[in-house]
Each structure stands twice: as structure tokens, then as C-alpha cells.
Chain A
Amino acid sequence: METVTADGADSPALIRFEEVSKVYPLPAGNVVALDTVSLAIRRGEFIAIMGPSGSGKTTLLNLIGCLDVPTSGRLVIGGRDVGELSDDELTYLRRDTIGFIFQQFNLIPLLSVLENVEYPRVLKCGSRGACGRKPEEVLRAAGLAEERLHRSLPSELSGGQQQRVAIARALVNDPDLLLCDEPTGNLDQKTGQGIMELLVAMNREGKTVIMVTHDPGIASYARRQLRIVDGQISEDSG
């Protein structure tokens, strides 16, 4: 496995896009969601990705999240070319090193709050496993200390509370990377600010945070801003 170092910098790039394109073949014609994107992201960065709807933000995030692989070009994450990994290997990467936070929260409706948070840890360590962090503890860190809530179903919680559960779930296996697709998109401004403060705190603890957002106010929490238009990076603040 090769180690890729960021251009000139002393810290190695955690993620490196080399002329990556993503094309979705559709009956009506191919959709070029990402068009020869090159990009390096270092460990510990806090990045906001902005751009109009349909410009390719989610596609970029999904590639980083190993949910999909490039149509062409190379994407190297933690030294590994994701184009060469099997479905199982990609799944292990998601499980162990990546935490996802979605706009729709995406909790599992059949599981209680505590079980939702526990789930990735059970996948990784087994039901008695002693790896990862304690679910109750991560829930407290995410701002949901109340034990009564832990036994509730996600549908019984408010949007802000659900997003905190999702953050706790994303953190339970102590990943290096947090990927957030419009994490405040379904929340009111005040609740959204609370979530952002949480993400800033996680970034201070050393996690790399990559966040898609429409909202310039939310984007200002990040230290580096990217703008994507028509599948290409049009601005990069850092």
C-alpha cells in the first residue's frame, strides 16, 4: 500500500482525488455528476462543500464515504485506492473509519435510540464486544443524557434529538472521518447551531469533518470552503 503525501505540506493527505469522474448512465443519457475532480484533504480538516442543487456535492461525499467508486480516475483514502477494494472491504472501511450524518437523520425505525447507537459497534465488535465507545457515553457527549430517551423509538424524538442520535451513532466506533450531508437542512436555525457546535467540538478532538451545506452561515463554521458547480470545483478557500 502506498502512502500519499500532500503537496509540499508535512501532514499526509487523508483523502486524495486524482482526476476523478463519476458518470451515472441513465436511459435518457449519461449524467456526469463529477467531472475530473482533483482534490487533497488532510487529516483534521473541517471542510464545507457548497454549490447549487444537482451540482455533485452528495456524489463527492458518497465517494469519500466509500458508498460508491469512481467511474474514472483514482481516489485514495488512507493510502488505499478505493477502486481496487471489494464490496466487503468498502463496507469494513465505512463501518470502522467513517461516520455518516444525513439530512434525514436516517435512523433505523425498528431499533430504540440506544440500539441505534449501539448498532455499528455491534457490527464491529459483536454483541459482547468491548471495542469502540460506550453508547450511553457517546449519547451524553452528543447532548442526549436523559436515559428515558434512550429507550424511545427514533420516531418519538424531535428532529434535533434525532440528529444528535445520528451523531452519537456516527461516533460510536470512534471514526477518523465524519461525513455530513446537509446535517442542519431539516432543523431550525437554533437547533442547527447546536449541532454545528457539536461538529466543531468533534473536529477539535481531531476528527476530519466534511460537510455539505447550502447555508453560508453554517459553512462559516468550517475552516475551508469548497464550491462545486456542474461537477467541477470552482472555488477552494484553502
Chain B
Amino acid sequence: MRIKNHPILEDLKNRKKVYITVDGRKVEAYEGEPIAAAMCAAGIRVHRTTPRHNEPRGIFCNRGRCTDCIMKVDGKPNIRTCVTLVKNGMKVESIRGMGDWSE
């Protein structure tokens, strides 16, 4: 959910709306924000599942330290989505197990 009318912070103005796809689903995003923020706003919380126990993982540190949030971005595996900014048309896919380079 996006926060609007924050009691202290001014609204973020002049942000350009773009679109990315997350596992094929079209997701609205704003230029300058990380992939994880756009996903969080859209209510998508599972970013990947672990190789051995197939457990879901999402945002944990939100600052590029823990790698829980890694996904495949435009064909590149293991990208930290909390510190990677969106680009219009970006293709984001969840990772099941180990990341791979296949299309």
C-alpha cells in the first residue's frame, strides 16, 4: 500500500510512473524506487524460495546486506531487489532454488 497524505513528509512530486512485470504480472512502479518497494506496494511479498527446503523469503534488511530478497531481473539471477532501482519494462522473476541464467 502506498502512503498518501503523510502527516510530516511532503508528497513525493514529479515521480514518473513506469511499469515492470513480476512473474508475468504487470506492476506499477515509480522511477527512482527499488524493485522491492514496488512489489511491497503491490502486496507481493515472496521474492524467492530456498534451494534445500523450498522455504519462502522476502524483504528482511531492506538495505542490500542479507540477500533474502534476490530475484532474477532481466535474465540476470541473484539481484538484490531492495537496492536495485526499477526501469520501465523490467522483467522480474522469483527464483526457485538456485538462480540460473536461462531465459
Q: Do chains A and B stick together as partners?
A: no
